Structure 1
Amino acid sequence: MTLLDPAHWTGKIFNGTWATGSAGTYDVIEPATGHTLTTLGQATPADAARAAATAARAQRDWAARPYDERAAVLRRAAALFEHHAADVQNWIVRESGSIPPKAELEARFAAALCHEAAALTSHPQGHVLPSAQPRWSLARRRPAGVVAVIAPFNFPLILAMRSVAPALALGNAVLLKPDPRTAVCGGAVIARVFQEAGLPEGLLHLLPGGADVGEAVITAPEVRVVSFTGSTAAGRRIGETCGRLLKRAHLELGGNNALIVLPGADLDRAVSAAAWGSFLHQGQICMTTGRHLVHHSVHDAYVDALAAKADALPVGDPATGPAALGPIIDHRQLAHIDALVRDTVAAGARLAAGGTHDGLFYRPTVLAGVTPAMPAYAQEVFGPVAPVVPFTTTEEAVALAADTPYGLSLGILGDVGEAMRIADAVPTGLLHINDQTVNDEPIVPFGGLGDSGNGSRFGGPDANIEAFTETQWLTVRPDIAPHPF
């Protein structure tokens, strides 16, 4: 069998070997066609509890292994992602509805995350501290133990691997609960890669399932860190549970990100950037450009050009023909998008482009005449929708951009000096001058503020070491210390 032959995982979950899930099996559906791609095993809370206990036992030996052994596993995983990139991309296209360039990005990013994680194993993980006593005083980082990773459907491989890879590299075991809709490219692919890379049994567990399985991996007493990417509503519940149980939660949640277009910005480039920011992967990205704030001097031309761009973008099955946008992940999400667009038009907005769909294929949509109170502007749409609002002064642009409970990403197009002044006034976790809002790299700190999460918890050695290790104070004296008792 090839590395990603479905025969490996058909009807199974993963606990170091492929095993039957206690909840039976379920079909993995291709959103573009409605066809069944494969079947996976479905876990239960009891499976999750057993996985946590197994992971805790395996983790102790893994943490004690020399750093170069852990690095070698990560390097082999990177090589496997690179060698099998075409197969990985095919699963991403078909299971998540991604266009091929986006799938290529995910496969390449997964390999890069493994390379970066391999380097983490030999990164300095502590400090020598001064002490008033005659002793050595050290602060060193130790593996957290068992890490629960709960990943979403939209970038299923990247958003799982950005936690799985560094957590394993730093000596932890991982319970991975992917979104059931994308549990092959966001789960089975990862399990197969690490299985072939030589990761010892019991360190990585794949647990497809519903909310009850998610709750079980969060509440398992062996789990010390929960890494969650998903909706703000779910993140709040997870954060509350982790707070009660005194566990660390790393929460990367939703966004309603603004793109500010300043007077004098190159209109063609601005519209191209804006279309990418709003329509990439059907707008199903936490960093999607959800609010277009455009100076009144270029507003009308911008709306016309963005609408023309939207009308020209092909929408279809990315596995069978050229498409700029594929399908929405499922009918529930499509209904949410369509309702927000319809309600916004009913509130007085003008439909400049799109607003229609054929099955799960939703046309890229541009809304003009929008006010901040309208639903598609005020709420996270998570779909290919671009509401446009004009502004007159810099102060107005700042007020509009900051008027959101979210704080994930901000893009500003135009004069750099003016953009710098705006940037310093708007709270946001990610900031891009002369680029749109959707940006990421394996080595950068990533995270949002407010309803977008609890800060930069992913990416780069500092954030990853902070996320997946604990600090231990260690002292050493040449002799037993004298004490007055």
Structure 2
Amino acid sequence: MTLTTDPAATDTTAGTAVAPAAWDRKIFTGRWSEGHGGTIDVVAPATGKVIATVGAASTADLDAAVEAATAAQKAWGAATYDRRAAVFRRAAQLLEADPDRLLRWLVPESGSGQGKAAFEVGLLVAELNESAALASHPYGELLHSSKPRLSLARRVPVGVVGVISPFNFPAILALRSVAPALAVGNAVILKPDPRTSISGGLALAELLADAGLPEGLLHVLPGGAEVGHALVVHPGVPCLSFTGSTAAGRKIGAAAAPLLKKVHLELGGNNALLVLPDADVDAAASAGAWGSFLHQGQVCMTTGRHLVHSSIAAEYTAKLAEKARNIPVGDPTDPANALGPIIDAGQRDKIHGIVTAAVEGGATLAAGGTYEGLFYAPTVLADLALDSAALTQEIFGPVAPVITYDTVDEAIDLINSSEYGLSVGILTSDAFRAFELAGRIESGIVHINDQTVDDEATIPFGGVKASGVGGHFGGARANLESFTDLQWITVQSTIERYPF
């Protein structure tokens, strides 16, 4: 690890703290207003500095938001598609013209490397454009009927959608629910992770307001678990979209079940990269490093298990460790640093505890395993016991555990042994063989000759098993199914006669 931590040399965030933004000590309720939950200091994990202070919402603010959103949604749901589409086209244009309106917060607030942050902004532009297209997408179909009548099914807005989003890719993991839900005629209440309240919510609200979104349709309520729980159990919010840990998702599902809500849960992963014996080892190690170390491994799709054929495992591990040792880590406001900090000390200590336990259990530490402050060195582990937490748990850090296999059947069994089923990569010189193997893998996503981290606004995204339930994000069909209800309508020219 090459570490750069001199704030005097790298800190470019000071300007953002000097001139208060629109959200200074505010929440967003269609307009900037003071929350009744006090304030939240936004801290850059790389430096420990407070870079902004935003408002904190209370449960009373949530109640008011639901009431306002319910009222505003009626006219928005009845609006013509072109009116809704225009908002998202304009938002995409504004962000494309000035990506810094998000970049300057994503980098310090979430600890994003500048390449990762730029990639995330690109995803936002794509999501906004796809949401504009979604507004005009066909939303129903004609159905056959045994009676002489017109029979059709159409998608109608659910009303108010609650969104709870995480810290790691804060902007896109919020917007991928917010934008399509709004585009099909709903109102939205967003509770971002309090550690990324700006890039995960308030900056998005400013963008959409600048693009012409009518007042009252989007509410951004930074706050803690109390506000999140109130959103989950609020009877006026019939649909929930949550992205986060599997443990939290199970609690949300249980709390929402008595209200019979539509609940979409995109949860954790312990994703496998299967390196077949005919793979190009240099290319495979490059893909594996990206999959495990991008954004410090704080991605639900992070490559958490490298399954490498025994004939090439030593070479692969050595090349992966070499890449890990040469990745520059430090304050991400310095563009020389590819990786930034872990989000907070609690998460860093969890990562280090798993690595330490693995080494104490007999694993070989091929690279990393150390940290300075919140900067954790990209780490490669080999020779692990199969019951090691480094293999069975989602680490959510820059750790690449490597295990070997001898037969493809053994490798498939190892992949499917996980409780998770989000993303799998297969690296080989025989792509069609990998395609055939994909049918045996229990995963919502399989990438052939790529690593495990990928997403596109046009693609239905989601996992199986403990990685998700309730719907998918992305693509017109999946978004319509997730954020609308199905309504059956029949029409006939005369009143039906009955024998009563």
TM-score by length of 2: 0.95
Give distance in 1, aligned partners of 2:104 and 2:312. 41
1:13 aligns with 2:27: yes
Equivalents in 2 of 1:87, 1:459: separation in Å?
24
Is the aligned partner of 1:431 residue 2:446?
Answer: yes
User: Offset at 1:49?
Assistant: 1.1
Q: How does 1:289-368 map to 2 (within 5 A)?
A: 289-368=303-382
Report Cα offsets for 1:336-387 as digits up to 9, x if no partner.
Answer: 1000000111111010000000000000000011122111111110000000
| Deviation of 1:327 (Å) | 0.2
- Structure 2: any 5+ residue segments left out of the alignment? 1-15
Letter in 2 for 1:257: N
Distance in structure 2 (CA, Å) of the matches to 1:235 and 1:5: 38
Partner of 2:458: 443
Aligned partners of 1:79, 1:6: CA distance in 2, in Å?
A: 24
Distance in 2 (alpha carbons) for counterparts of 1:87 and 1:246: 39
Matched, 1:276 2:290: yes
2:224 maps to what in 1?
210
- Which amino acid counterpart does residue 464 of structure 2 have in structure 1? L
Alignment counterpart, residue 124 of structure 1, candidates 129, 138, 146: 138
Equivalent of 2:398 in 374, 384, 388:
384
SS at 2:167's partner residue? coil
Q: Structure 2 CA distance, aligned partners of 1:259 and 1:227? A: 28
Counterpart of 2:419 in structure 1 is 405
Cα distance in 1, alignment partners of residues 19 and 176 from structure 2: 24
State yes or no: 1:393 paired with 2:404.
no
2:263 alignment partner, SS class: strand
Alpha-carbon distance, 1:421 to partner: 3.2
Task: Provide the rounded CA distance (Å) in 2 between the counterparts of 1:436 and 1:91.
Answer: 28
435-444 or 320-329, larger mean C-alpha shift: 320-329
Q: Tell me the equivalent position of 1:370.
A: 384
1:263 correspondence with 2:291: no
Quote the sequence identity (%): 56
- Consecutive aligned runs of 4 or more in structure 1 exceeding 6 Å deviation: none
Farther-moved stretch of structure 1 (326-335 vs 128-137): 128-137
* 2:53 aligns with one of 39, 45, 52: 39
Superposed CA deviations along residues 175-224 of structure 1, whole A, max 9, x for unmatched, are 00000000100111111011111111110000000111011111221111
Shift of 1:5: 6.5
SS at match of 1:8: coil
Q: Distance in 2 between matches of 1:396 and 1:380?
A: 21
Cα separation, 2, equivalents of 1:97 and 1:293: 29
Moved more, 231-240 or 216-225: 216-225
Say which SS state the counterpart of residue 7 (structure 1) adopts. Answer: coil
Secondary structure in 2 matching 1:82: helix
The alignment partner of 1:255 has SS state of: coil
1:106 aligns with: 120
Question: Residue in 2 aligned with 1:476?
Answer: 491
CA distance in 2, matches of 1:256, 1:214: 26
How far off its partner does 1:228 sit? Answer: 0.3
**SS of equivalent residue, structure 1 residue 411:** strand
- Once structures 1 and 2 are overlaid, which stretch shifts more, 73-82 or 244-253? 73-82
1:191 and 1:465 map into 2 onto residues whose CA distance is 22
- Tell me, yes or no, if structure 1 residue 242 matches structure 2 residue 242: no
The RMSD of aligned alpha carbons is 1.2
Deviations 1:126-152 (A, max 9, x none): 111111122111101100110001000
User: Partner of 2:71 in structure 1?
Assistant: 57
> How far 1:456 sits from its partner (Å)?
4.8
SS in structure 2 of the partner of residue 412 of structure 1: strand
Query: Which structure 1 residue ranges, 5 or more long, are not aligned?
Result: none
Query: Within 2, Cα distance between the matches of 1:6 and 1:452?
Result: 39
In the alignment, is the contact (CA less than 8 A) between 2:263 and 2:470 conserved in 1? no
Partner SS state of residue 123, structure 1: coil
1:459 partner amino acid: G
The CA deviation string for residues 310-340 of structure 1, in whole angstroms up to 9 with x for no partner, is 0011111110241121000000100110000
* Contact 1:138/1:475, CA 8 A, preserved across alignment: yes
Q: 1:186 to 1:478 in 2, by over 3 A?
A: same
Residue 467 (structure 1) aligned with residue 482 (structure 2): yes
- Superposed CA deviations along residues 374-424 of structure 1, whole A, max 9, x for unmatched, are 111111100000000000001111111111000000000012243223211
Secondary structure (helix, strand or coil) at the match of 1:223 reads: coil
Tell me, yes or no, if the aligned pair for 1:429 and 1:456 is still in contact at 8 Å.
no
Give 1:458's aligned amino acid. Answer: F
In the alignment, is residue 167 of structure 1 matched against residue 161 of structure 2? no
